[in-house]
Amino acid sequence: MTDQGTATTSTASSIRGSLTNSGTGGRGVAVVTGASSGIGAASAAALAAAGFSVVLGARRGDRLAEVARRTGGRAFVLDVTDSDSVASLATEVPDVALLVACAGGAYGVDPVAQADAADWSRMYEVNVLGTQRVVRALMPALLTGDGGHVVTIGSTAGHSAYAGGGGYCGAKAALSSLTRALRLELNGRPVRVTEIAPGMVATEEFSLNRYGGDRARADAVYAGVERPLTAGDVAACVVFAAALPSHVDVDLLVVRPVAQADNVTVARHPLRVGE
């Protein structure tokens, strides 16, 4: 925690100086959590290319710094499960146009009756409470000026349960409910609220983490599937929703690869053309 706190102080000073001295991107400041890999890193890159000044938050400072270097963004070592860490970020970004709450993850695939409650707690802590902490801390900044936009990265798992997914489906369902409640609570205020719910996305870490580092089981998730979604595909959805006129709110965007009809109906063969 000491090393992380030192890094956070250093990067916070860098963010403050950069935003003050060089201004922001044409679209304003976008804060992306979970930005050290996967959908978060891809979203940071896509938003930077779209004209946002991007602040990247994640726990792993070394990987975060590399993503920031590639995207031209500003890195902030952030632990969304730590209220002090989130509060420190909020003091450095007084005006936020867009928050992309991407920090999350899945841990374990055990049936409900055999699942480890610690895995479930971890998923709820990161996916749900982590998002709530960041939204609460940054809401004053999102309400500054012409208002802002909150995008949560949910999952189709939050809209339809499947065997072995009780903990993750429950956490993402709670995130979806949080997002819908926030949309209602902000009605009449100039803040858009969007949930993007991807289906099968092949990233370097999601399934590997879920299966406790078992590479064979992680790779089997995507076996035979023609073109699962990539992190870049989901990032394109983030940019799409964010780039619409400020009076247009995409409440929910569900996106799957063509080969996946729902959470359990997946074509594991080349897509056929013709009869």
168 annotated active-site:
yes
Residues 6 and 87: beta-carbon distance below 8 Å? no
Tokens of 73: 């963004």
For residue 11, how far is the Cα from the chain centroid?
21
Tokens of 141: 């900044």
> CB within 8 A of 172, min separation 6: which ones?
104, 127, 154, 155, 157, 158, 197
**SS3 of residue 120 by DSSP:** helix
DSSP conformation letters of 168-206: HHHHHHHHHHHHHHHHHHTTTSSEEEEEEEE--B--SSH
Edge to edge, the sheet with strand 98-101 lists 74-77, 53-58, 29-33, 98-101, 148-153, 191-198, 252-255
Distance CA 43, CA 46 (A): 5
Name beta bridge partners: 260: 266
**SS3 of residue 239 by DSSP:** helix
User: Which one of the listed residues 107, 168, 211, 222 is annotated catalytic?
Assistant: 168
Q: Give how far Cα 177 sits from Cα of 32, 76, 129, 181, 249, Å.
A: 21, 28, 12, 6, 17
Tokens of 208: 């590997």
Tokens of 64: 């975060």
DSSP conformation letters of 44-64: HHHHHHTT-EEEEEES-HHHH
Tokens of 5: 């706190």
Give catalytic residues, as residue numbers: 168
